[in-house]
Amino acid sequence: MRTVIGLEIHAQLLTDTKLFCDCSADYFGKEPNTNTCPVCLGMPGTLPVLNERAVEYGVRAALALNCEIPERSKFDRKNYFYPDLPKGYQISQFDEPLAVHGHLEVNGNVIRIRRVHLEEDAGKLIHQAGNYSSVDLNRVGVPLIEIVTEPDIQTPEEARAFMEKLRQALRYIEVCSGDMEKGSLRCDANISLSEDDELGTKTEVKNMNSFRAVEKALQFEQKRQKRALNEGEKVEQVTLGWNADKEEAKLMRSKEEAHDYRYFPEPDLVPLKIDEAWKEEIREGLPELPDEKRERWADEYGLPEYDIDVLTEDKKTATYFEETVAEYSSPKTVSNWMMSEVFRVMKLPEAELENVTPTEFAYLVKLADDGEINNNTAKEVLEEAFTSEDSPKDIVEERGLKRISDEGLIEEKIEEVITENEDAVEDYRNGNEKVLGFLIGQLMSKTKGKADPNKAREILQEKL
């Protein structure tokens, strides 16, 4: 049996203000119903004014998803009655969306994107213990893009991978925080099964607030539909809600149709025109996207795929790596230090990547790589540098941590060791080679472990 999945994703845009008024778009955690104004509350006589930045972010996302952007799109009213929507309609885009015909590649499979459109968010209902709900309208009017895929996804695991990849792209271009737990990125998943090339009847699952939940909910629904079809039952076209605690999807409502929403053009907003020059300006401003970066890193740095995946996961880490390698062009060494030590230290509460510049980090990696300080010392310096204001160079110099490779200095210390350990020297000269290790140990304790061990061995053997 063939599984087909299509996703409808809502991503909150990181604008300062809401889509059609001056209220802050940063509603999270605020006192309920304090982040509103007459416009987003839908008071009679108010008019929406479109937020240009939201359009720019929408275009940016659409371009990153390889979409075409028609010169003209328009806003429509989607009518429905629910207490989280004070106007009684949501301003959205229906038949002329901001962007169409995109795609995103996931593990070699091309997932087509049908459309990307702009719309405003609704408020939140908080279902209280007892038989009532509270309404919080702080989120009403926050700008969203809705991204709709074609039914090109073939497994629940691929749906999850798509969401992860999408989130990564949206974060790289800095239009969405991608936080599924806070609802900044939400996903409704449509799924159907069929025995042939025809699409089967789909169901829609909502309320997944993690990547894991997307995968789990679709696995659940895939199993349920398979069982039903195997038993000769019909799958009803319904909307289900995912319960992450019980790991089950429950019926929310029977499917609504577009005509139920009585869509019509928003009379208070003129059609939206995106001129070619602005579109190109936005395109030019896009950063290198994760796929391009991965490819370039493989060519330029010759890193293993695993390293590339880990280090390009977010843009900040990737940029840090690139800037470090620009200072010390030993990509695999830098990668090893970042993936093991920097990532370990970053988990400490006081650690900040900003505490050590890429130049300073490159200095430390090179020092260790050249054997000027030993690896354990370098790890300690690294931890201290990332968790304090001090730079690696300051720490190394203040504490005199650099390895002594000055032969004159080592020789001087070796002379001391020889005069202080006459018995051992005698033993060695009588053929007990093991004593050499002891003498080197003495030298190390005199130099606090900083003498270059290879040089020390060489000089010591010569003297004896």
Q: Which residues bind ligand ADP (CB under 6 A)?
A: 4-8, 148-151, 190-192, 199-200, 202
User: Of these, 21, 54, 185, 439, which contacts Zn ion (CB under 5 A)?
Assistant: 21
* Distance spanning both ends of the chain, measured CA to CA: 80
49 binds, among Zn ion, ligand ADP, none (CB under 5 to 8 A by kind): none
Q: Which tokens go with 155?
A: 């497994």
Distance CA 317, CA 58 (A): 25
Q: Under the criterion CB under 5 A, does residue 40 sit at the interface with Zn ion?
A: yes
Task: Compute the least distance from the CB of residue 204 to ligand ADP, in Å.
Answer: 7
37 binds, among Zn ion, ligand ADP, none (CB under 5 to 8 A by kind): Zn ion
21 binds, among ligand ADP, Zn ion, none (CB under 5 to 8 A by kind): Zn ion
Task: Compute the least distance from the CB of residue 384 to Zn ion, in Å.
Answer: 48
6 binds, among Zn ion, ligand ADP, none (CB under 5 to 8 A by kind): ligand ADP
Closest CB to ligand ADP: residue number = 6
Task: Compute the least distance from the CB of residue 332 to ligand ADP, in Å.
Answer: 41
Distance CA 460, CA 11 (A): 68
Helix 290-301 vs helix 156-172: crossing angle, to nearest 10: 80
Stretch that binds Zn ion, among 14-22, 186-194, 288-296, 315-323 (CB under 5 A): 14-22
User: Of these, 5, 13, 19, 23, which contacts Zn ion (CB under 5 A)?
Assistant: 23
Give which of 118, 184, 106 is closest to 146, Cα–Cα: 118
Q: How many CA atoms lie within 13 A of 346 on its CB side?
A: 11
Task: Compute the least distance from the CB of residue 232 to ligand ADP, in Å.
Answer: 19
Distance CA 225, CA 83 (A): 33
Distance CA 103, CA 63 (A): 10
Q: Under the criterion CB under 5 A, does residue 122 sit at the interface with Zn ion?
A: no
Distance CA 328, CA 247 (A): 49
CB nearer ligand ADP, residue 150 or residue 248: 150
Distance CA 247, CA 213 (A): 8
Distance CA 43, CA 47 (A): 9
Q: Under the criterion CB under 5 A, does residue 137 sit at the interface with Zn ion?
A: no
Task: Compute the least distance from the CB of residue 260 to ligand ADP, in Å.
Answer: 11
Stretch that binds Zn ion, among 18-26, 170-178, 252-260, 349-357 (CB under 5 A): 18-26
Give which of 94, 98, 50 is closest to 76, Cα–Cα: 94
Stretch that binds Zn ion, among 37-45, 211-219, 231-239, 450-458 (CB under 5 A): 37-45
Under DSSP, is residue 190 helix (H, G, I), strand (E, B) or coil?
strand
Q: What is the dihedral of CA 278, 281, 283, 287, to 10 degrees?
A: -140
Q: 459 near 436, Cβ under 8 Å?
A: no
The total number of residues written for the chain in this structure? 464
In 375-451, DSSP assigns E strands to none
Q: Which tokens go with 416?
A: 């001391």
CB nearer ligand ADP, residue 224 or residue 279: 224
CB nearer ligand ADP, residue 159 or residue 213: 159
151 binds, among Zn ion, ligand ADP, none (CB under 5 to 8 A by kind): ligand ADP
Task: Compute the least distance from the CB of residue 129 to ligand ADP, in Å.
Answer: 34
User: The dihedral of CA 416, 419, 423, 428: what is its sign?
Assistant: positive
Q: Under the criterion CB under 5 A, does residue 142 sit at the interface with Zn ion?
A: no
Distance CA 266, CA 262 (A): 12
Give which of 325, 269, 266, 265 is closest to 293, Cα–Cα: 325
CB nearer Zn ion, residue 34 or residue 134: 34
143 binds, among ligand ADP, Zn ion, none (CB under 5 to 8 A by kind): none
CB nearer ligand ADP, residue 149 or residue 442: 149
Stretch that binds Zn ion, among 35-43, 181-189, 239-247, 402-410 (CB under 5 A): 35-43
Q: Under the criterion CB under 5 A, does residue 460 sit at the interface with Zn ion?
A: no
Which residues contact Zn ion (rule: CB under 5 A)? 21, 23, 37, 39-40
